[in-house]
């Protein structure tokens, strides 16, 4: 509150509220809004990485794609930090903090997997076949290392069997990896950022 004298004995009182000290009453569903915002941005960033690989003549299905697996954990922590501003001064509490991180990771994984599926469908099977040829060549060159280990042949054959070969399988792989890393960080992040 600020008091300003305006001459002749009158005093003007002004009340200021901080935007950072907003309450949940002023914003409906802060958990959902925060998770949707952070999750959608994360999914878009993951897909932007795939597009960057594609347009820079790198294999968008290859191991460089996994560098985008760091976005969901960062988004989960960012959503938990953002949620704290709605629950000042006591903090959101354990379950709300963990929940917003989990929901952010889930939404980010869904957006990323859906975009990657559409990308795989639009670019056609030739790009997937090129990726699989590279993977087969790499696995063939490491087959001797597999065979030196106990059960190496079974591991080699299992690796060949478990390769993603269709757009749906690539999207499923994208979803599970993004969700796993996001959930992995959401729980300890929520414990730490609950207040």
Rg (alpha carbons) of the chain, rounded to whole number: 24
- Is this model's pTM higher than 0.95 or not? no
**CA separation, residue 27 to residues 72, 74, 77, 100, 167 (Å):** 25, 24, 20, 15, 39
Quote the pLDDT of residue 18.
42
- Model pLDDT for residues 59-117, shown as the tens digit of each residue: 999 999 999 999 999 999 999 999 988 888 787 888 888 999 999 999 999 999 999 99
Sign of CA dihedral 183, 187, 189, 194: positive
Better pLDDT: 75 or 149: 75
Q: Which of 112, 83, 96 is nearest to 182 (CA)?
A: 112
Q: Report angle CA 29, 35, 36 to the nearest 5 degrees.
A: 90
**CA-to-CA distance for 170 and 111, rounded, in angstroms?**
14
Q: Where are the domains of the chain?
A: 22-192
């Amino acid at each position: 509150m600020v008091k300003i004298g305006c001459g002749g004995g009158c005093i003007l009182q002004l009340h200021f509220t901080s935007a950072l000290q907003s309450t949940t009453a002023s914003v409906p569903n802060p958990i959902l809004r925060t998770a949707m915002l952070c999750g959608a941005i994360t999914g878009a960033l993951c897909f932007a990485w795939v597009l960057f690989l594609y347009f820079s003549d790198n294999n968008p299905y290859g191991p460089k794609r996994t560098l985008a697996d760091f976005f969901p954990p960062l988004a989960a922590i960012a959503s938990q930090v953002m949620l704290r501003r709605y629950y000042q001064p006591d903090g959101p509490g354990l379950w709300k903090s963990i929940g917003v991180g989990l929901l952010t990771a889930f939404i980010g994984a869904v957006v990323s997997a859906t975009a990657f599926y559409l990308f795989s469908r639009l670019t056609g099977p030739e790009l997937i076949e090129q990726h699989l040829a590279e993977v087969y060549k790499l696995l063939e060159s490491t087959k001797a290392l597999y065979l030196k280990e106990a059960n190496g042949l079974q591991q080699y054959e299992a690796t060949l069997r478990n390769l993603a070969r269709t757009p749906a399988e690539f999207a499923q792989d994208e979803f599970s990896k993004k969700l796993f890393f996001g959930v992995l960080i959401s729980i300890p992040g929520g414990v730490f950022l609950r207040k």
